[in-house]
Amino acid sequence: MQFMLLFSRQGKLRLQKWYVPLSDKEKKKITRELVQTILARKPKMCSFLEWRDLKIVYKRYASLYFCCAVEDQDNELITLEIIHRYVELLDKYFGSVCELDIIFNFEKAYFILDEFLLGGEAQETSKKNVLKAIEQADLLQERETFCGFPFFLASVSLSLMLFS
């Protein structure tokens, strides 16, 4: 996989993951071109299209389009399944994911994608294992936040006592 894009029906980019090195200018050009091309297609049209030297595989879920670019020899159906698995993971984590979940929790959406895909290849196919890794990361983050806060308060109150 070369890259994955998530964008709304209005053409707003919500998430982008690039697995090939490209300049920002080239990324913007590709994004603009693909968003316009996909949004102009009719709903009943095939979800695969040839573009430049790549195959574009996309799927619309509610108000979001999930779009992947794969090399010519890659299987489109497997790519479609990868998109679907990512949506399933987002659904499990957020409980029926919507565009607002992606907007306000984009770092979590990226984290889920990174747990699932590595370098554009599926690294873990088990939803259960991916969700378990995400749950463990959430617990670790909670502990750091919880443990860090009382320490901060204690150090502030100690500083106040010393300088009073």
Residue 155 lies in a domain: no
Can you give the CATH number for the domain in which 81 is found? 3.30.450.60
Residue 136 lies in a domain: no
| pLDDT at position 143 | 79
Residue 145 lies in a domain: no
Residue 29 lies in a domain: yes
* Structural domain count of the chain: 1
| pLDDT at position 157 | 45
Residue 116 lies in a domain: yes
Question: Can you give the residue range of the structural domain that contains 106?
Answer: 3-125
Residue 46 lies in a domain: yes
Residue 143 lies in a domain: no
Please return the burial class of 48, using the count of CB atoms within 10 Å of its CB with bins 0-12, 13-18 and 19+: middle
Report residue 102 as tokens. Answer: 């992606």
Say how many CA atoms lie within 13 Å of 102 toward its Cβ: 25
Average pLDDT of each block of 10 consecutive residues along the chain (164 residues)? 96 96 97 97 93 95 96 94 95 92 94 90 85 87 68 47 50
Query: pTM of the full predicted structure?
Result: 0.82
The strand pair at 13-18 and 117-118 is best described as unpaired
Residue 15 lies in a domain: yes
Runs of H (alpha helix) within the chain = 24-40, 76-94, 99-104, 106-116, 127-162
